[in-house]
Structure 1
Amino acid sequence: MNDRTTMQVFAAGFNAWGQLDFSSAPSSPESLATDPQDLSTFTSILKTSTITDLQPLLASTHGENSTVLDITATFVVLAAALLTHRNSGLVLTSDGVQSAGFPSPFSKDGPLTRQLLTHQLAIAGNEKVAVISAPDTVLQYPTLAALEAGSPPEQVFTIPKTSAAAGSTSLSKPSILKVVAYQTGFALLSAGAIDSNSRVYTWGDERYSACLGRQVTGSTPADQPGLVEDLVDLPTGPIRKIAAGGYILLAVTEGNDLYAWGGHPGWSTLIHEISETPMAVDIDGQDIVDCGVGDQHAIALTSNGRLYVTGDNTNGQLGIPRAKKIQSWEEVSLSLREHGTITGVRAGGRTSFILVKSSTP
């Protein structure tokens, strides 16, 4: 007899609009449950049999979070603050789309919803929008409203072909795998058609050049996608995962090394010794298999299922009730024996999420 698999999403953090509550869908502020409370410890917000992944969207400067989940046989999407589409969320299940928080202006069956849920579209904190329109092309819009209105993009970017290997004359046409957003820009992960080695490109506001992780020159300006050369030919293999939020970007290699770069001038650093150059991050000597970064916090999952967090905890987003801020990586103690094993982590602007899998006879 086969065991029955159950998946759960646990969340911690900002919940003032009830956006982490998928048991009801308020239609107005007046219809919210009385004084929804932030979740200061990781709490189960969703249980189903078909979740295998979860992905975040960037929180906006409005600071009013939403949650977007896509529950299918393969993945679940969690998000925070959809800019002009604030205080709302979507859940796509085998039975259709459900909502959390205020009803979303997104069409439940519309193409934008699907693009949001599959990382083909990302919204930066400055309201700019990037959309993957072809395997090697990204469109940029000034706002989500401009995209919805059918306005032409303000920028069209084509990712250049790259050499398949050192000394090779063959060129590989890239295939853009995903695009993510931070406060003032974007990062994308692409794979070549010949060598399959992934590459990271960044672009955004030149005033926050540390987030680019690369040099800004006349041929590689800040506001156009440029290759992050320090993430090519790494000791433990190519990048397989990228995450972004606030003014920090993270990347994980095939060999489970974590890299970080970014920062805001004049602000304290979220990760010790972070700079404008991607650097390897050591977390108790652990192999890192997944990560997420919010406005001012980060979360990481190790290969042996240990959970680490760092940064701001004003809304309980670190899942550690006693602290307002943590200056270094700290392990979160979780009692998941009855719930199972953590298989993924993500971060919204002021929220953190973990995906847990369990089996019962």
Structure 2
Amino acid sequence: MHLYAAGCNAWKQLEFSPLKSSTEEPDDVTSFTRVLSDSFIDVQYASLTYTIVNTSTGSKYAGYYDEPTESGPQQQVLSCTAAVAGNGFLATYDGHSTVTQRTLQLKFTASDMKVFSDMYDVIQIVAYETGFVALSLDGKVWTWGDERYAATLGREVTASSPAESPGLVEDLEDLPSGKIIKIAAAGYMVLALTEGHDLYAWGSHLAHQPLLETLSGSPEPVDVEENDISDFSVGDTHIIVLTVKGDVYTIGDNTNGQLGLSLQKTTKWSKVPRSFWGEAIVGVKAGPRSSFIVTNNAHHA
């Protein structure tokens, strides 16, 4: 398998090969470039300053990591049922029915912690700038966070369903193409994929033009050139998707080259040229200002 990367590289977070020490500031990677090869590759965590990739020989780190232990990439934070929001809160699922939210500060009191019960079979927790999204095995989606950024909740905030407690996103129930099977979030935007390969999005980007024309406070279907979607990920101001046909499309800001295209930004879905690698694409991932493509060694049909 091979890993291709594009985007911000100021902390050498896209460089997995040992390099000679240099005082020169590294350049951003503005087109998808092969950065790692192994028999197994899975991009587990991509932050602004470092990247963690699972390989056949264990985890490989790239970039600059110097944070307190409590806020670092501990095993629980790297779990698919734990996430850290941009406002400094950690949410974790206990594997049974409870999600716990607390501050990342090394010292905290009971007032810094919230416990949410009756959340069964949670298979994913993701975070955005001011809150969290959880997905259950049966396709239910809960959101909670800061009421001041209600568009990222994707639901109505009421006295019985306040912003700061998990509430069901009812617009994602009984969808035409089946239940939700995967979620992603970053910045002020959330995406969700159905088992029938339809993508939905909601939220807003403060101080930015809407990333998608349909982006609002309610989940709306996303049309990626009429393609079915098999994988997707979202950064602070960009999205990368993999279609069922095996093509990669990106949209959004490209200040650091995270779209892998030669343009500054785009509000239209743009296909990433893949002729130069000629392998079957099996997954995509986004960091805040970076993008990753995972391929296997078999040639795409």
Deviation readout 1:172-219 (Å, 9 max, x if unpaired): xx211011011111101112xxxxx21111111111100000010011
Q: What secondary structure, in the 3-state scheme, does the structure 1 residue paired with 2:242 have?
A: strand
Which residue of 273, 282, 286 corresponds with 1:333? 273
CA distance in 1, matches of 2:75, 2:109: 19
**1:266 Cα deviation after fit:** 5.3
Deviations 1:220-248 (A, max 9, x none): 10011110011111100000110101111
1:316 alignment partner AA = G
Identity across the alignment (%): 44
Query: Does structure 1 residue 344 correspond to structure 2 residue 286?
Result: no
Given that 1:250 and 1:260 are in contact with CA atoms closer than 8 Å, whether structure 2 keeps it comes out as yes
CA shift at 1:114, angstroms?
Answer: 2.0
The question of whether the paired residues in 1 share the 8 Å contact of 2:43 and 2:52 is answered with no
Aligned equivalents of 1:337, 1:116: Cα separation in 2? 33
Q: For residues 151 and 358 of structure 1, what CA distance do their matches in structure 2 show?
A: 50
Gaps of at least 5 residues in structure 2 are none
Larger radius of gyration: 1
The answer to whether the 8 Å contact 2:145/2:165 transfers is yes
1:102 positional shift: 3.0
Q: For residue 17 of structure 2, what is the aligned residue in structure 1?
A: 23
Question: Aligned in 2, Cα 1:105/1:32: closer, same or farther, shift over 3 Å?
Answer: farther
The answer to whether structure 1 residue 113 and structure 2 residue 74 are counterparts is: yes
Whole-Å Cα distance in 2 between the matches of residues 331 and 234 of structure 1? 27
Q: Name the aligned partner's letter for residue 49 of structure 2.
A: N
Residue 186 of structure 1 pairs with residue 132 of structure 2: yes
User: Given the superposition, is the C-alpha separation of residues 184 and 103 from structure 1 closer, same or farther in structure 2, using an over 3 Å criterion?
Assistant: closer
Partner of 1:99: 61
CA 1:98–1:289: 2 relative to 1, 3 Å: closer
Corresponding residue of 1:210: 151
Alpha-carbon RMSD across the aligned residues, in angstroms, is 2.3
Q: Aligned equivalents of 1:13 and 1:154: distance in 2? A: 35
Unaligned runs of 5+ in 1: 1-6, 73-93, 161-173, 192-196
- After TM superposition, the score normalised by the length of structure 1 is 0.76
Q: Counterpart of 1:54?
A: 43
TM-superposition CA deviations, 1:66-88 (whole Å, max 9, x none):
1122225xxxxxxxxxxxxxxxx
2:188 — aligned with what?
247
- TM-score w.r.t. the length of structure 2 is 0.91
Corresponding letter in the other structure for 2:189: I
User: Deviation at 1:344?
Assistant: 0.6
Cα gap change, 1:342/1:189 in structure 2, threshold over 3 Å: closer, same or farther? Answer: same
Q: Would you say 1:38 and 2:28 are equivalent positions? A: yes
Instruction: Quote the Cα distance in structure 1 between the aligned partners of 2:113 and 2:44.
Output: 27
* Rounded Cα–Cα distance in structure 1 between residues aligned with 2:198 and 2:216: 17
In the alignment, the residues of structure 1 paired with residue 280 and residue 133 of structure 2 have an alpha-carbon distance, to the nearest angstrom, of 30
Spell out the pairing of 1:288-307 with structure 2 (5 A cutoff): 288-307=229-248
1:157 counterpart residue number: 116
AA partner of residue 291 (structure 2) = S
Whether contact under 8 Å (1:182, 1:247) holds in the other structure is: yes
Does the 8 Å contact 2:44/2:52 carry over to 1?
Answer: no
CA shift in 2, pair 1:127/1:276, >3 Å? same
Name the CA distance, whole Å, in 2 between partners of 1:210 and 1:137: 25
Deviations 1:120-173 (A, max 9, x none): 321111111111223221111122x33xx586551111135xxxxxxxxxxxxx
SS of the counterpart of 1:358? coil
Are the equivalent residues in 1 in contact too, given 2:83–2:92 (CA < 8 A)?
Answer: yes
Partner of 2:296 in structure 1?
357
Q: Is residue 102 of structure 2 the alignment partner of residue 141 of structure 1? A: yes
In 1, Cα distance between the equivalents of 2:19 and 2:125? 29
| SS of residue paired to 1:180 | strand
Q: Secondary structure at the match of 1:136?
A: coil
Q: 1: distance between equivalents of 2:8 and 2:115?
A: 35
Query: What code does the residue aligned with 2:61 have?
Result: S
CA distance in 2, matches of 1:268, 1:307: 23
Give 3-state SS (helix, strand or coil) of 1:11's partner.
strand
Cα 1:103–1:127, aligned 2, differ >3 Å: closer, same or farther? closer
**What amino acid maps onto 1:272 in structure 2?**
E
Counterpart amino acid of residue 156 in structure 1: V
